[in-house]
Structure 1
Amino acid sequence: MSKTKQDRGEIYVFIQAILLIALFFGPTDLFGKPETIYYPLWLAGRALFYIGLGIALWAAIALGPNLTPMPKPKRNGELIQTGIYKLVRHPIYFGVIVLSFGWAATLQSWYTLAVAIVLLIFFDLKSRKEEEWLLEKFPSYQDYQRRTKKLIPLIY
């Protein structure tokens, strides 16, 4: 049986790459940019960027050999529910969301803020498909869903 591009979620990875390129390399003044940078917001944005980066890296390391760029879990993968995965089911996505909003605050650009919002919505949609696959693979995933928030610890 041949694999299609949707068998492992390659389209999601492609869209995610496009959104991240748009975030970091897109035009920062498309919807207007303040003439002066508000320093406290810039400082908060830098902090959020590095906190988000740290969360995403911590989550990736915690996955160990289960880490894959595809949303479909590896055939021989295990369900990780400890460490940061006890706080949120998709901590890599959470970290990228935090760093995206941090980047938007750093640049103080409406365009970058809009892309960060689109990334948040995209990760919610991507995680829905990923969770379908996780439910198929791991019978205990449904219980994990009940007790752990999806994208933002303690909130959502």
Structure 2
Amino acid sequence: MRIDRLRLVWSLVSFPLFFAFGLFLPAGTWNWERGWFFVFAVVALGTISVGYLWRVNPELVAARINSHQGTKPWDKILFVFILITFLVIFPVAALDDGRFHWLPVPEWVCALGYGLLVLGVVLITRAQAVNKFFEPTVRIQADRGQRVIDTGPYAIVRHPGYVSCLPLSAGVALSLGSIWALIPAGSFCLVMALRTLWEDQTLRAELAGYEEYTRRVRYRWLPGCGSWRVVFGARRRCRVHIRLFSRTS
């Protein structure tokens, strides 16, 4: 599979621009040590991850850079919220630790954040290494001969890549020294939880062999966890139950 060079160039250019405007502009200074350390750490982790994937699963690297047709309409909308909730983590952390120092944290909190960040990168890289269909959006990849992947971490849970959003988002917030940034990080995880549920339903309905796979691998995110329900109260007392970690039959 050929790589869309224009999209590749844009990805490389937008990366430093994002850090400039997403971190140091809100921080109000270029002299933010935790911000710079974070940038170098992310560049290093990203280089190692992409380099490893390029060696073991080059088709996936190309697939994630290129654009594709067939993304589910609901995911086009949800993807916007995924981007917003994740990207907001950075300016909130910059405003907190880099500028206003709303809730200063000791260095061990940042160290914990980097531990979570590394864990998240390892989890998502491992999932991507064995799954060449790990595209950024939800679609049935008939053009690429999509099939059920049940090896590696997929033999334990059905969406191991999404599991990484928990340590990744929390790791970003804490490594930048911000407790307040855990709020958008938590929002990001909730949106990813909803996406997991809807993607799982899509795969069960449209991907051959996935229904049988759900009987062998019972959990979506974490094995052994009970039901996670998000309940929204309203005048009509409507309830939306998101059974994320539930055991499915």
Name the TM-score, length of structure 2 as normaliser.
0.53
> Are the aligned partners of 1:134 and 1:141 in contact in 2 as well (CA < 8 Å)?
yes
41, 47, 54: which one aligns with 2:122: 54
How many residues in Structure 1 have an aligned counterpart in Structure 2? 151
43, 46, 49: which one aligns with 2:111: 43
Counterpart-to-counterpart distance in 2, 1:139 and 1:6: 17
Q: Cα deviations across residues 50-105 of structure 1 (Å, max 9, x unaligned)?
A: 110111122122111x1221122312211111101112211121112211111222
Q: 2:211 corresponds to which letter in structure 1?
A: Q
15, 33, 36: which one aligns with 2:81: 15
Match status 1:104 vs 2:173: yes
C-alpha distance 121-8 of structure 1, shift in aligned 2 (>3 A): closer
Counterpart-to-counterpart distance in 2, 1:153 and 1:46: 25
> Are the aligned partners of 1:33 and 1:108 in contact in 2 as well (CA < 8 Å)?
no
Match of 2:222 in 1: 152
1:153 CA displacement: 4.2
Larger radius of gyration between Structure 1 and Structure 2: 2
Q: 1:57 corresponds to which letter in structure 2?
A: T
Q: 1:150 corresponds to which letter in structure 2?
A: R
Name the TM-score, length of structure 1 as normaliser.
0.81
Match status 1:74 vs 2:178: no
RMSD between superposed Cα atoms in Å: 2.6
| Greater relative contact order, per chain length (Cα 8 Å cut-off, separation 6+) | 1
Q: Could you tell me which runs of 5 or more consecutive residues in structure 1 were left unpaired when the two chains were aligned.
A: none
